[in-house]
Amino acid sequence: MRSIARYITLVLLCLPLLGAAQGYHMAKGVKSQKVNFQLINNLIIIPLEVNGAKLSFILDSGVSKPILFNLSDQDSIRLNNVAEITINGLGEGNPIKALSSKGNRFRLKKMQNNNQLLYVVLDKSMNFSPSLGIPIHGIIGYDLFRDYVVDINYSNKVIKFYDPEYYKPSKNKKYRTLPLSIIRSKSYIDGKLHLRDKEDVDVKLLVDTGSSDAIWLFKDEEKGIGIPDKNYDDYLGKGLNGDIFGKRTKVNNIKIADFDLKDAKAAFPDMESFNAIKDLGDRNGSLGGEILKRFNIVFNYPGNTVMLKKNTFFKTPFHYNMSGIELQHNGIRYIAERIADTRGVVRNEESAFGDVQILMENRTRLSLVPEIIVSAIRAGSPAEEVGLQEGDVILAVNGKQVHKYKLQEVMKMLNEKEGKKVRLLIERYNKDLLFSFVLKNLFE
147 or 12, which is more confident: 147
Task: Please determine whether the domains at 25-144 and 176-310 fall in the same fold group of CATH.
Answer: yes
Alpha-helix residue ranges (DSSP H) falling in 26-172 = 129-132, 142-147
Band (pLDDT 50/70/90 cuts) for residue 19 is very low
176-310 to CATH, choices 3.40.47.10, 3.30.1370.100, 2.40.70.10, 3.30.70.360: 2.40.70.10
3-state secondary structure of 336: strand
Q: How many helices (H) and strands (E) does the chain have?
A: 5, 31
In this structure, whether the domain defined by 325-438 belongs to CATH 2.30.42.10 is answered with yes
Interacting residues of 247 by C-beta distance below 8 A, sequence separation 6+ = 227, 231, 232, 233, 234, 267, 268
Strands 232-239 and 242-256: antiparallel
Least confident of 30-39, 121-130, 188-197, 347-356: 347-356
Q: What is the mean pLDDT of the chain?
A: 85
pLDDT digits (tens, 9 = 90+) for 311-357: 999 999 999 999 999 999 988 877 766 666 545 444 444 444 555 55
pLDDT of residue 350: 45
d(CA 396, CA 413): 10
pLDDT digits (tens, 9 = 90+) for 137-191: 999 999 999 999 999 999 999 999 999 999 999 888 999 999 999 998 999 999 9
Percent of the chain clearing pLDDT 90 (strictly above): 60
What kind of architecture, by CATH, is found in domain 25-144?
Beta Barrel (2.40)
pLDDT digits (tens, 9 = 90+) for 77-95: 888 888 888 766 555 556 6
**In the chain, what are the domain boundaries?**
25-144, 176-310, 325-438
The mean per-residue pLDDT over the stretch 35-44 comes to 96
pLDDT above 90 (res 235) = no
What residue type is 21 in one-letter code?
Answer: A
Of 35-39, 274-278, 370-374, highest mean pLDDT? 35-39
The mean per-residue pLDDT over the stretch 411-423 comes to 94
